[in-house]
Chains A and B, each alone.
Chain A
Amino acid sequence: MSAQHEHFDRVTGKTTTGHEWDGIRELNNPLPRWWLMVFYVCIAWTPIYMIAPYVLPSNRITNIFFSFPTRSEIETDIAALRATRGESMVQLASADPAAIIGDPKLLGVARALGKAAFGTNCAPCHGQGAQGAKAYPNLNDDQWLWGGTLADIKQTITHGIRNENPESRVGQMPAFGRDGLLPKADIPHVAAYVRTLSGRTTEGAYDLKKGATLFSENCAACHGDAGKGNSDVGAPNLTADIWLYGGDMNAIVETVTNGRGGVMPGWASRLDEATVNALTVYVHTLGGGR
């Protein structure tokens, strides 16, 4: 921008910057001086701000200017938060879930904490409202694969289902069709019979008598003679009209053919005792607890 190109604009009474593009000139509107000074000061401050916090000792005076929380400080803060929650958390960790339900104050804390922990840890599979989905049980109803007492629920949350944890819940439904335990042609008869247990009827020519026989020979060991299930091995109650994998003919045939076995991680290694207890109480009080 040389001086000879500077141009005086008659309309605005201002000079231009001296730049010209196809006859278009730019008015010279410099930044306000104070603004420019603040800008320069900020530039000068930047290297200090980037280096000083790591070089200067952390004390009350330097913290006024450079206060970066360190990991250890955050841990201290979290510990302080736990201490504030203190008494209730200690009680939650040490109390029996049944005792928690009996104490209105503790129940409130447990349900609030449980709801938050559920949202973080359990909702991805079971849903935000614990409503479940196909293959992920609805925890609001009173149908439990592994038992619905407080002790059962706590055991399931703590150790999980069908995982590497030696204490996890185990139980396997065989793949009757795939592994050749049952002839393929027999499976629809069993499936039709299973549907009758919860009062469902199936159109088509199925030999329910044969189905019943096959059921008592193959399925009753786990599901019980009457199909009431067995929570020790995670065998569902087939007389209730609640289906984890679907209750139509095709779904049941597929279940019998390939077997089923959902997994759930154990949470003892990730959640503390208070949170596990809170989750136990929360899930139990969703409505289905026994």
Chain B
Amino acid sequence: MSAAEQFTDPDDAPLYVARKEVYPQAVSGVFRTIKWTVLCVTLGIYYFLPFVRWYRGPNAPDQAVLIDFPSRRFYFFFIEIWPQEFYYVTGLLVLAALVLFLMNAVAGRVWCGYLCPQTVWTDLFYAVERLIEGDRRERMKKDDGPWSVEHAAQKVLKHSIWLMIAWWTGGAWVLYFADAPTIVRELATFSAPAAAYIWIGILTATTYVFAGHMREQVCLYMCPWPRIQAALTDEHALNVMYRYDRGEPRMSLKKSEQAKAAALPAGDCIDCNQCVAVCPTGVDIRHGAQLGCIQCGLCIDACDNVMAKVGRPSGLIGYDTDANAKRREELLEPVYKIIRPRTVLYAGLIVAIGTLMLATLLGRASLGITALHDRNPIFVKLADGSVRNAYTVRLTNKSQEERVYRLELVGLPDGARIEAVGTHPSGERAVLVEVGHDRTRELRVLVTLPKGGDAASLPLAFRLIDISTGAQASVDDFFKGTGS
């Protein structure tokens, strides 16, 4: 390195690399079929799930999946989540992360290659592009050459279809936040809330820009997952790999025949570059595992097709592990270790957290009670010398019918009374209270102690009993007397 180079100001180095347009070529094969299937299933779920109905009773919405912000409820088939139960969503995210880790430990970037929305929508946009503008070579030629009316018309058509898909994508999103058939009608008649149009606009824009224009750059520059997964993988994880031991030295078909005739080494790779041509991120898998490789398996299909044509065994590119790559070089049999400490740990955590969530979800009570002791004043002395404490009690009825609850005072010496405005007395120590379906009711509960109110603090509990089912909930609190 010369002195001049050494002192070159690093600030002068460009931080931006111009994008190389990627023109992935169409390919058919096992992995392409898997990708089409996943694309149809995932997009089908996304676009049509809001229209699935799920009957929950006359008072609740009948949409299977609904995030109901105005009434603060989240419905997912048989599950109804209240805002204070948002930790279930946290649990779901923890589960999702662990599933990603497990997928990564077993078979690398399964998420990136097949399931990620960026991959799925980009794949769909590429399909539209191919349908209208033709395959790789045609498109490269057209983009390189001068503009023609036909080319311009194709571009307009392509972008129009892209925008329509993007618009449908944004449209489907808002259907999850309101009754789908209703909001579709409202959208069509321009009577939907402004927020619906704004969100459709935002998601149309992001879909169009991400899937139509940014494509692999999202994976290369924006997404943190490739970086994280690099830390999660190990030598036993299956990854899309090129078999160096078989492929090298690569050379054309003709040369390899000459080499073989001369008893020189010749690999199976004929350097046809088909694996690069079909790659949606434009990488060369023969350079090994890399950030840009989303492991979609399309190069496997391309290579297998070529190998079949030239009469060589398939699998020159395929799912393999780092450990096996080493073993093959040492001429050892490959070993596959799916069951390893890390996969067992991930799977165990998934099962444990899933079971815990399911158990708490199924064991949820349909009623609930919380109590907040008045602080100001902490106690009140009444004219007859008795002492009273007031509590703000909130009763929750998660069922879809109005329920009558019995609110009981537990603890405290004899003579203690419970009262609450708007309820019906049921003896000295209980009141009956109606709570409407799927809602809470706040009560001001007064507890009066005629004698013994000079104690500093006495424990008590409020017990709530659903008269129709016998279900119970209770909350502990204190009675504060005049003593200090």
Contact = CB atoms under 8 A, between A and B. Distances in A.
B444 A285 contact: yes
A239 B422 CA distance: 31
Interface stretch (B75-83, B262-270, B286-294, B369-377): B369-377
B381 A104 contact: no
A108 B441 contact: yes
Contacts of A285: 421, 444
Given A108-B442, A241-B385, A242-B383, A138 B422 contact: no
B68 to A, nearest CB: 20
A207 interface: no
B384 interface: yes
A92 to B, nearest CB: 15
Given A104-B434, A104-B441, A127 B376 contact: yes
A107 B381 CA distance: 25
Interface stretch (A50-58, A140-148, A188-196, A258-266): A140-148
A141 B376 contact: no
Interface residues on B, range: 10 to 19
Given A127-B376, A129-B376, A140-B377, A104 B422 contact: yes
B446 interface: yes
A111 B421 CA distance: 11
Contact of A287 (B376, B385, B388, B434): B388
Contacts of A101: 421-422
Contacts of A241: 381, 383, 385
B390 interface: yes
Interface of A: 101-102, 104, 107-108, 111, 127-129, 131, 138, 140-143, 237, 239-242, 285-288
Contacts of B375: 129
Closest 10 CB pairs of A and B: A129-B376, A240-B383, A131-B377, A140-B380, A285-B421, A141-B380, A143-B383, A287-B446, A107-B422, A142-B382
Contacts of B444: 111, 285-287
Pick the most buried of B375, B383, B384: most chain A CB atoms within 10 A of its CB: B383
Nearest to A143: B383
Contacts of B385: 241
A125 to B, nearest CB: 14
Contacts of A107: 421-422
B336 to A, nearest CB: 57
Interface in B258-283: none
A111 B443 CA distance: 10
Nearest to A144: B383
Contact of B377 (A102, A129, A239): A129
B458 to A, nearest CB: 18
A138 B377 contact: yes
B169 to A, nearest CB: 29
Contacts of B377: 129, 131, 138, 140
B328 to A, nearest CB: 55
A288 B380 CA distance: 10
B78 to A, nearest CB: 30
A239 B390 CA distance: 24
A107 B442 CA distance: 10
5 contacts: A104-B434, A104-B441, A131-B376, A140-B377, A285-B421
Contacts of A138: 377, 380
B344 to A, nearest CB: 54
Contacts of B382: 141-143, 240, 242, 288
Nearest to B385: A241
Contacts of B446: 287
Contacts of A129: 374-377
Contacts of B441: 104, 108
A287 B383 contact: no
A141 B421 contact: no
A237 B380 contact: no
Nearest to B434: A104
Interface in B427-451: 434, 441-442, 444, 446
A56 B444 CA distance: 54
B117 to A, nearest CB: 34
Given A241-B383, A285-B444, 4 more contacts: A107-B422, A127-B376, A241-B381, A242-B383
Given A104-B441, A108-B441, A285-B444, A240 B384 contact: yes
A240 B386 CA distance: 11
B483 to A, nearest CB: 16
Contacts of A141: 380-383, 388
A16 to B, nearest CB: 20
Interface centre among A104, A107, A138, A285 (most CB of B within 10 A): A104
Contacts of A111: 442, 444
B384 A287 contact: no
Contacts of B380: 138, 140-141, 287-288
Interface in B359-374: 374
A152 to B, nearest CB: 16
Contacts of A104: 422, 434, 441
A129 B441 CA distance: 21
A287 B381 contact: no
Interface in B229-243: none
A100 to B, nearest CB: 10
Nearest to A287: B446
Interface in B442-467: 442, 444, 446
B380, B388, B390, B421 — most chain A CB neighbours (10 Å) = B380
A128 B376 contact: yes
A140 B390 contact: yes
Contacts of A131: 376-377
